[in-house]
Structure 1
Amino acid sequence: MPLSELIHLRQLLHQNPETSGEEINTAEKILSFFAKLKPDQTIQNLGGNGIAFIFKGKYPGSRSLFRAELDALPIQENKGLSYRSQTEGKAHLCGHDGHMTIACGLGEKLAAQRPENGEVVLLFQPAEETGEGARRILDDPKFRQINPDFAFALHNLPGFPLHQVVIRKGTFAAGSTGLTIFLTGKTSHAAHPDAGINPSQAIAQLIQILPKLPEKLKRFALVTVIHVEIGSLAFGTSAGKGSLSLTIRAFDQNDLESLIDLITEESIRITSSEKLGCEFSFVEKFAVSKNDPKAAYIAEEVMKGLNLNLWEKPEPFRWSEDFGLFSQSCPSYLFGLGAGENCPQLHEPTYDFPDELIETGVRIFEGIARKLNG
C-alpha cells in the first residue's frame, strides 16, 4: 500500500475517536484493514476491545510483540483540520491514531514477506489512557496464546526534532497512580462545630505533609495534590466529610510502592488522631516502563543501521505509559519518536500526529521484527 493510503487510514482513525473502553468501532476499522493482509491468526476481544494479529514464520523462533493503542482522549479538539474529530468532546490528542497506523504499516510488510522464524504479534491495546488496558490484556486467558519473548512500543514526542529517536536504557518513564483519600467525620451545625468532627484540620495536615514524603526516598519520586473537597457550600453546617486526591509517581517500582505505603500510614495516623474514618481508592495505575538491556541492544542496533538521529535521554520521563506493565512480564523496549520542536504538546486541543512519522515508525518496527524473526 502506498504511504498515502496509510495517511488516509490515520486521518480516518483521527476523525472517529473513541475513549478508553469504548473502542468497538476503532477495533472494527483495524480488523477491516487486516482482513486483506490475511494474518495467520487473529485474536479478538482481548482484554476488552483489544485485537492481536499473528504472522508466523516457517521455522521455530522467538515471539516478538509490537503494541499500539486504540483509545482517544475525552478532550475537545481545537484545530481546523479537514479530517477533524467528528465526535464532540473526544479526540486523538495523544497520537494513538498514528501509532495504530504504524502498526498497520508493519502488518503490510509482514503480509508481503512473512517472518522466517518464530512469530510476530501486532497488538492493538484498549484503555491505555486510564492505565487499565495492559492489566486486562495480561489477565485475559487468551493472552497465553501470544505470551511474547520480547515486546516493543513507541510514543511520539512533541518538543523533540522530527524523526529524532529518543532512547534510554533502564527506566524510560515513571510509574504512577492516582489516589483519593476519603475522610469521614460527623456533620454538625456551624454554630456548634464542637458537636461534630470536621475533617478540615486533617486535610490541611495531609496537604502539608504528604508531598514531602518523597524526601524519605533516595531516588526521584513525587506527590502532587490535584483535588480537595470538604463538606458542602452550606454556611450553617460544619463539614462532616472530605476527600483529598493525589498523583503519586516514581522512577523505580519499589520506590513507588514504598511511597504508597508511607502515604497510607501517614494518612491513617493523622485521621486516627482526629477521630476520622479513612478509606483509600486507587485509580489509573501505571507501572514503571523499564527497558530491558537485550531488547534495547536489538532495537538500537536497528536504529543505528537506519542512520537515524538517536538521542539518549539522561533522565527518565516523568509521565507514565501503560506499556510499563508489559515490561514486568517480558523483556521490553519503549522509545520515543520526535514529533517536531514546535508541535503542540500531547493532550493539548491543537495537537495532531505528524503523518511524516508513519514511514519512520514502520521502518524501525520492521527492522526490529526482521532482526528477531528474519
Structure 2
Amino acid sequence: MTPETLARLTALRHELHQYPEVSGQEEKTAARIAELLSQYRPEEIVTGIGGHGVAAVFDSGEEGPSVGIRCELDALPIQEVSDAPYVSRVPGKGHLCGHDGHMTIVLGVAEELARQRPTRGRIVLIFQPAEETGKGALAYRADPKFRNVATDYVFSLHNLPGLALGGVELCTGPANCASRGMRVVLKGKTSHAAAPQDGLSPAKAMARLMPALAGLGPGGELDSEYALTTLTHAELGERTFGVAPGFGELWVTLRTVSDGRMARLVADAEALVRQHAEADGLGVEITYDDVFDACTNDPDAVEILAAACRVQGVPLRLSEKPQKFSEDFGQFAKGAKAAMFWLGAGEEHPQLHNPDYDFPDDLIAVGADIFLTAARQLTG
C-alpha cells in the first residue's frame, strides 16, 4: 500500500469515526460505504442485506472459489472521551470497538481489487450491520439477497488491545465464546411501605438469586466446561419510600465456549430462577437478547490466514484458547469455511468499549494486506 493510499484511507477512517450509528441504525454509514465502493467498479453492489448490510462483488468471470471478507458497520451507545480532531459528533455514540477501522481495511482491499481483479472465482466484500447486538450476521444470512453473495470461504478480523501492535493471534477450533443476555422479571404485588405484609415483594428471591446465578458460572479455564455468569443489572420496585416493591428485574450475561455448554447453562439458570420464584409465590418471565453463538475457526481457513501472515512478515501467535469476547461472525461458519484473526492494537492500548478507545491507524495497511494475500491464495 502506497503512502498516498494509506493517507487517503486514514482520512476516510476519521470521517467514519465522526458519524457513528448504532446497531440497526446504520443507514447513512451503509449509504456512504456503497458510494465509496462504486468508485472501485465492482461487478455488483448489493445493499439492504439483513437491514443495512452491503456487499461488493469482484468477479473474475472464471470458475473458481468464492471468498468473502467481512467487516462491521455499527458503533456503540457510549459517549466518546477524546481530544482527537475527529472525535464523534453524535452525542452518546462512538466507534469505540474499531468497526470504523475494520470498514476502512476492507475498503483498502477494494482499492487493490480495483487495480487487479481476481483471476478465478470471485471476492465478495461484506459490510455487516448490527454485530454488537448479535443480530446482524443472522439477519444478513437469512436475507434472500444473501444467496447471490454467499461464499465458499469467509475471513474476518477484530483488533485486540493487549496484543502487540500489528501482531496477529489466530487459533483453530473455538475462537469466540457463545453468550447471551438473560432478563429475569419477578412479579409480586405492591403494598404500602407501612404494611409490607399485605404485598408480595421479590426482594428475598432476588437476594438469593444473585449469588446463586453467579455460582452457576464461576469462570475458570477456557475448556469445554467453561461457564461464566455476570450480573449486569438489578432493579427492585419503584424509586420511592412509600411503596413496598411488587416487581424485580435481573439482567445476567451467560458465557460459554460451546453452544452445547450454553444450552446446559441456560437450562440450569432457568430452573434456578423458577425454583426461587415459586418458593416465594412469585410470577416469573424470562427473555433473552444479545444472543451470540460460539464462533469456530475452520482449520483450512486458519492455514490460509497463517500463510498470509507469513508472506507479509506479520508476527503470528497461534493460540489454543478462544477469546472470551463474543462475535456473531460464527453465523458465517454455518455455510462456509470461516476464520477470524485478532490484530494487535497495542499492549497498552485502551480496551474495546472504553470511552477513550480509538482504532490505531497503523493497522489499516496490515489488515488489508493480510486479507488480500489470503484471498489471492484462492482466487489468484
Q: Provide TM-score, normalisation by structure 1.
A: 0.96
The match for 1:304 among 307, 310, 314 is 310
For the Cα contact (< 8 Å) 1:175–1:324, is it kept in 2? no
Provide the rounded CA distance (Å) in 2 between the counterparts of 1:83 and 1:204.
45
In 2, Cα distance between equivalents of 1:279 and 1:252: 26
Structure 2: state its 5+ residue gaps: none
- 2:171 is aligned, of 163, 168, 171, to 168
Code of the aligned partner of 1:138: R
Shift, 1:218, TM fit? 5.7
Which letter does structure 1 place at the counterpart of 2:138? R
**Does the CA-based 8 Å contact 2:20-2:90 persist in structure 1?**
yes
Matches within 5 A, 1:268-279: 268-279=274-285
1:60 to 59, 63, 66: 63
Give the C-alpha shift of residue 58 in structure 1. Answer: 2.9
User: 2:36 is aligned with what amino acid?
Assistant: F
1:179 to 179, 182, 186: 182
Q: Could you tell me which amino acid in structure 1 is paired with residue 358 of structure 2?
A: D
**Does the residue aligned with 1:280 lie in a helix, a strand or coil?**
strand
Match of 2:266 among 257, 260, 281: 260
> Deviation string for 1:113-136 (max 9, x for gaps)?
111221211010111111111111
Equivalent position SS for 1:256: helix
The aligned amino acid for 2:41 is K
Residues 1:10 and 2:10 aligned together: no
> Which whole-Å CA distance do the structure 2 matches of 1:73 and 1:207 have between them?
27
Secondary structure, aligned partner of 2:368: helix
Of the three residues 306, 329, 335, the one matched with 1:323 is: 329
1:23 to 6, 23, 26: 26
Determine the C-alpha separation between the residues in 1 that align with 2:319 and 2:121. Answer: 32
Q: Give the partner amino acid of 2:312.
A: L
Q: Say if 1:234 and 1:6 are closer, same or farther in 2 by CA, change over 3 A.
A: closer
Structure 1 spans left out of the alignment, 5+ residues: none
- Residue 236 in structure 1 maps to residue 235 in structure 2: no
The Cα shift of 1:265 comes to 1.5
Q: Does the C-alpha gap of structure 1 residues 211 and 329 become closer, same or farther in structure 2, counting only changes over 3 Å? A: farther
Distance in structure 1 (CA, Å) of the matches to 2:137 and 2:163: 27
Distance in 2 separating the partners of 1:261 and 1:120: 41
Residue 225 of structure 1 and its aligned partner are, at CA, apart by 0.8
SS at the partner of 1:245? strand
Taking the aligned partners of 1:333 and 1:219, their CA distance within structure 2 comes to 23
Question: Does the 8 A contact of 2:224 with 2:257 survive in 1?
Answer: no
Alpha-carbon RMSD? 1.6
The 3-state SS of whatever aligns with 2:179 is strand
Q: Give the distance between the partners of 2:86 and 2:238, measured in 1 at CA.
A: 44
Contact 1:65 1:123 survives alignment (8 Å): yes
Residue number in structure 1 paired with 2:149: 146
Report what 1:134 is aligned to: 137
Identify the match of residue 206 of structure 1 among 206, 209, 215: 209
2:76 corresponds to 1:73: yes
SS at match of 2:121: strand
Moved more, 215-224 or 244-253: 215-224
**For 1:85, what is the secondary structure of its paired residue?**
coil
Dislocated runs of 4+, deviation >4 Å: 215-218
- State the distance in 2 between where 1:56 and 1:205 align: 59
Counterpart in the other structure of 1:188:
191
**Which range is displaced more, 320-329 or 247-256?**
320-329
The answer for the alignment partner of 2:345 in structure 1 is 339
Q: For the residues of structure 2 that align with 1:346 and 1:16, how far apart are their CA atoms? A: 18
Cα distance, 1:293–1:314 mapped onto 2, change above 3 Å:
closer
Alpha-carbon distance in 2 for matches of 1:148, 1:13: 27
1:120 matches 2:139: no
Kindly provide the amino acid, as one letter, of the partner of residue 60 in structure 1: E
Amino acid at match of 1:309: P
